Structure 1
Amino acid sequence: MFAHRTSRRLGALAAAVLLLSTTAPSEAHHAGSAPGPVNAQTTFGWGKPIWQDDFVGGLKPIWRKTGRGTVRNQNGMLTLNTTRVGSISATLARPGAKTGRWEIRLRSRRYATSAANYTVRTELVPVPALADHCGARNIVFEGYKLGSNTANLRIRNLPNRSFDAKTPGMNLGNDRWHTFGVEVTANRISWYVDGHVLRTEKRPEALSGIPFTVKFTMAAVPGKAMNQSRMQMDWLRQYDLAKWNGRSTAAPLTTPGTFAGAC
């Protein structure tokens, strides 16, 4: 009798393990670190993307490169490879959107540590680019210096306003996947990291109401020798606001300040 009960328990345990292994989410499909975290779309129920790039095949002509280095699709990832000096960017040349949700899945790597570190940055930038005012109207998904363990979240708006926050400590080491998202509505901006809402900014002076597109940048320290590095995006997805968030977006405000570089 005891052996029979033990056998049944072991059988039930094996079935449970099999069920978990076949139903667990599996978003990562590239070599490297373990599968990445749940994204905001899944957690908050944003529905299907209205546009996405999974970076399969050759680089689409809608991506515009500026700076030194290479931009290409590599093994299903948009890859920005730096040199040892200067910045490199890739900007999405599509019609901008005044409201919506944008989310990426990102990892980065530095190949040396003896020189200065690049900053990995994803932004919503104005369309047309002339409305940028030297970076004074951008929304930063994430901005972190390679080798650090926190990322900056930021809004800049005219005439010289800045609204800033930082993520809690997180593992931003080589090839560690994370998801970063920004939601822009008519009356707020919210940031999402690994499926969690971290900040929500509602002050009217933070909201520009202009159309945005996406820009990826590996930013160098001007005049410095840099550690050659890369950033890789598994996917970029854009959503409209047709579906309500399935959870509260309440979160702390950012810290207001000024941006001296506005022009």
Structure 2
Amino acid sequence: MPYKKRLALVAALGTLLTLLTPALPSAQAYPCGRPSGCTSFELVSAGASYDWYPVKHRYEFKGGRTEPKEWEKSKGNSKQYQQNGMLTLVANKGKHTKPVTSTWTGRSHYYDKGRWETRMRMAPESSGGNPWMVEVALTPVSKKQYFCGAQDIHLLHWSPTEPSTAQLDINTLPDNRFTMEKKLSRSITNDEWHVFAVEVTKERVLWFVDAQVVANEPRDKALSGKKFKFQVRLIPTAPGKVQEKFRIQLDWARYWTLAKPNSKSVAAPKTDLKTNRDACPPVEQQPTSPSTTPARATR
């Protein structure tokens, strides 16, 4: 075939393929509450889906295995570094008696109300030891207010016995635990990405999983009014015995104010009110009735 005819045929085939192939969305094809827009990948977040932007504080991690600024790791048999744009927290295999934690520090990040969200994944990196529980939590800024986690809000409580179940806990004094479970179609471990968020106001707490509102808790007993800091925890299931090596990674962490209302309905069921057996409030705030919920280590 002559050269010119071959060129004409190639051009015709190119035109045909262009007509038959659907146009791919651009990186700024979808409005999401910020001027730059969002990709379809970014839309799997409550911040984008409910139009919370502009963001007040954000931490986008880097590489190079450097320690991330403003993220404080607890002492112990563990390590923390930035890797491929992720915060990586690793609990080494061995005996652990306390949780391994990483806390987003800095006074400018401490609030009694607002919206917190993170995209994360996790996975065991060894076998032959006991598994870990995982919590992504808001915990009081003041250590004097800890009371064994009695005033924490858990964006995620995850147990290895239920690998595809996410749990919300709203803990308040003296021993209240408002809780909700969400069964997901994919495992939460095994390096499956998921996004968890909470909105805390003076009137309610909302829980979001993968950009969908799951719980709406308005009862006064669920609203402590404490100022919170953001923390990730790996909790040993058998303190003092050998735990497997385990890794959790955050792709990003963000905080929004309540300046903009949610752009769509946040109607969702209330949580279930149970007893927090882990709470250790001051004597004057101790409950008078016996607890009925099995104990669970949270700190």
TM-score (norm 1): 0.87
Matched, 1:54 2:60: yes
Task: Flag the 1:146–1:76 CA change in 2: closer, same or farther, 3 A.
Answer: farther
Secondary structure at the counterpart of residue 20 of structure 1:
coil
Give, in whole Å, the separation in 1 of the partners of 2:257 and 2:145: 23
**Structure 1 residues 33-67: Cα deviation after superposition (integer angstroms, max 9, x where no partner):** xx687100111000121001112253344222114
Shift of 1:200: 0.8
- Is the contact made by 1:118 and 1:220 (CA closer than 8 Å) also made in structure 2? yes
How far the C-alpha of 1:194 sits from its partner, in A, is 0.4
| Aligned partner (choices 76, 79, 90) of residue 88 of structure 2 | 79
TM-score, normalised via structure 2 length: 0.77
The aligned counterpart of 2:276 is 259
Aligned residue for 1:93? 105
Give, in whole Å, the separation in 1 of the partners of 2:169 and 2:78: 26
CA deviation profile, 1:187-245 (whole Å, cap 9, x unmatched): 00011110000001100001001110101011112123222110000000000000010
Aligned-partner Cα distance in 2 for 1:20–1:51:
28
> In structure 1, what is the Cα distance between the partners aligned to 2:70 and 2:26?
38
Q: Shift of the alpha carbon at 1:21?
A: 6.7
Match in the other structure for 2:241: 224
Counterpart amino acid of residue 117 in structure 2: E
Equivalent residue number for residue 208 of structure 2: 192
- Are 2:197 and 1:170 aligned? no
- Partner of residue 3, structure 1: none
Equivalent residue number for residue 35 of structure 2: none
Q: Any unmatched runs of 5+ in structure 1?
A: 1-5, 28-34
Q: Among residues 21, 25, 34, which one is paired with 1:20 in the alignment? A: 25
Q: 1:64 aligns with which of 68, 72, 78?
A: 72
Deviations 1:160-212 (A, max 9, x none): 11111111233223111110001001100011110000001100001001110
Shift of the 236–229 alpha-carbon distance from structure 1 to 2, 3 Å rule, reads same
1:37–1:179 CA contact under 8 A, matched in 2? no
Paired residue type of 2:24: L
Consecutive aligned runs of 4 or more in structure 1 exceeding 4 Å deviation = 6-10, 21-27
Structure 1 contact 126–210 (Cα < 8 Å) conserved: yes
Moved more, 158-167 or 218-227: 218-227
CA contact (8 A) 1:65 1:91 kept: yes
How far apart are the structure 1 equivalents of 2:82 and 2:145? 29
Partner AA of 2:178 in structure 1: F
Amino acid at match of 2:157: G
User: Offset of 1:7 from its aligned partner?
Assistant: 9.9
Q: Where do 5+ consecutive residues of structure 2 fail to align?
A: 1-12, 31-37, 281-299
Larger Rg, first or second structure (1 or 2): 2
Report the alpha carbon displacement of residue 93 of structure 1 after superposing the two structures with TM: 1.8
Aligned length: 249
Contact 1:108 1:176 in 2 (8 A): yes
Over the residues paired in the alignment, what is the CA RMSD in angstroms? 2.3
1:260 deviates by: 2.0
